[in-house]
């Protein structure tokens, strides 16, 4: 290792230590400023410089507001905030209202989503329109906006009533239900002994031309190997080989080692409402399909029973 690399490593270690110390200092400052009796002590104790007292009081007040905001965020799950669009040509002078939705499942914080609104028409001060958002595409955001935040046509004198509160509640319900379905599907993969798609190692993508050439040049030995693998699976105990789901977690596809395939339709609340299971020859297995009906939790156990 050269002297330059050694110096770079030492600088990197020092920067990492500085970051840790800064985070520790911020944590200690938060604990100190959050003490309930600190404001009273600042008022009662004599100080040499009054400016220091006022500065400390401002810091305590700022931390108190921050603590109150954290309580609202932890309890409500949906909070609003105001931001300014830096674009000089932004509508409504860049005034933007944000809605923050925080999802927590089983006492564990999952993700934070934001929806930003602006007022596109100066004539209607209470009319909001979605400006930007971080909502996943599988969530019906536009459908909820059409229902709870309908836009007023320009030829109408009175503004259409909007309900931002119900919009926020409905959107949070959609997000929480989505995350709960995804978590349940992850547990199903674990119960079935199927490797999670996110944990699979990324394989190098073969060029399309190479795939075509390989298809034409495949030998009989490869076909024999495929037949042997298929025969081995048929002779082994029947178990779930693959468990796939769409992005919304509303459709689950199961594949067994004997070639059986099952497709389950899942409701937003996590109920398997429809299930179709077919054997390798296309024959429908109605009994196994009926077993799948119920909560998504326990699906693997019901199918194995």
SS3 of 41, please? helix
Same-domain check for residues 110 and 92: yes
Distances (CA, A) of 281 to 260, 277, 278, 284: 9, 12, 8, 9
Per residue in 197-207, pLDDT tens?
555 555 444 45
Same-domain check for residues 54 and 142: no
Distance CA 261, CA 192 (A): 15
Contact 94, 86 (CB under 8 A): yes
Q: Is residue 28 a part of any domain in this protein? A: no
Same-domain check for residues 111 and 164: yes
- Give me the pLDDT at residue 232, please: 64
Per residue in 57-98, pLDDT tens?
888 888 888 888 777 766 778 889 999 999 888 888 899 999
Q: Is residue 104 a part of any domain in this protein? A: yes
Number of domains in the chain: 3
Q: Is residue 199 a part of any domain in this protein? A: no
Distances (CA, A) of 125 to 79, 119, 129, 162, 262: 21, 7, 11, 12, 52
Contact 146, 115 (CB under 8 A): no
Per residue in 97-121, pLDDT tens?
999 999 988 778 889 999 999 998 8
151 CB-side CA count, 13 A: 13
Residue 158: is its pLDDT beyond 80?
A: no
Contact 192, 240 (CB under 8 A): yes
Q: Is residue 198 a part of any domain in this protein? A: no
Distances (CA, A) of 80 to 64, 98, 114, 279: 18, 6, 9, 52
Q: Is residue 164 a part of any domain in this protein? A: yes
């Amino acid at each position: 290792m050269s002297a330059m690399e050694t110096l770079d490593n030492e600088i990197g270690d020092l920067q990492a230590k500085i970051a840790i110390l800064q985070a520790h200092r911020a944590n200690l400052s938060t604990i100190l400023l959050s003490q309930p009796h600190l404001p009273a002590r600042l008022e009662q104790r004599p100080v040499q410089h009054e400016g220091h007292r006022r500065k400390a009081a401002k810091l305590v007040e700022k931390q108190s507001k921050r603590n109150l905001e954290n309580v609202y965020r932890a309890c409500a799950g949906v909070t609003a905030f105001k931001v300014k669009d830096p674009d000089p040509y932004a509508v409504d002078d860049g005034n933007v209202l944000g809605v923050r939705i925080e999802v927590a499942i089983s006492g564990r914080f999952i993700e934070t989503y934001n929806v930003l609104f602006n007022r596109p028409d100066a004539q209607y001060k209470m009319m909001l329109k979605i400006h930007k958002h971080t909502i996943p595409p599988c969530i019906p955001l536009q459908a909820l906006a059409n229902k709870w935040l309908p836009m007023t046509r320009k030829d109408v004198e009175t503004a259409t009533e909007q309900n931002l509160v119900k919009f926020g509640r409905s959107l949070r319900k959609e997000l929480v239900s989505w995350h709960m379905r995804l978590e349940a599907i992850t547990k199903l993969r674990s119960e079935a002994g199927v490797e999670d798609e996110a944990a699979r190692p990324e394989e190098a993508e073969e060029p399309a031309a190479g795939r075509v050439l390989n298809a034409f040049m495949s030998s009989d030995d490869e076909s024999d190997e495929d037949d042997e693998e298929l025969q081995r699976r048929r002779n082994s105990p029947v178990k779930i080989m693959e468990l796939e789901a769409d992005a919304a977690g509303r459709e689950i596809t199961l594949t067994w080692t004997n070639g059986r395939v099952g497709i389950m339709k899942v409701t937003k609340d996590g109920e398997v409402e429809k299930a179709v299971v077919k054997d390798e020859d296309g024959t429908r297995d109605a009994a196994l399909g009926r077993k799948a009906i119920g909560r998504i939790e326990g699906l693997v156990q019901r199918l194995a029973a």
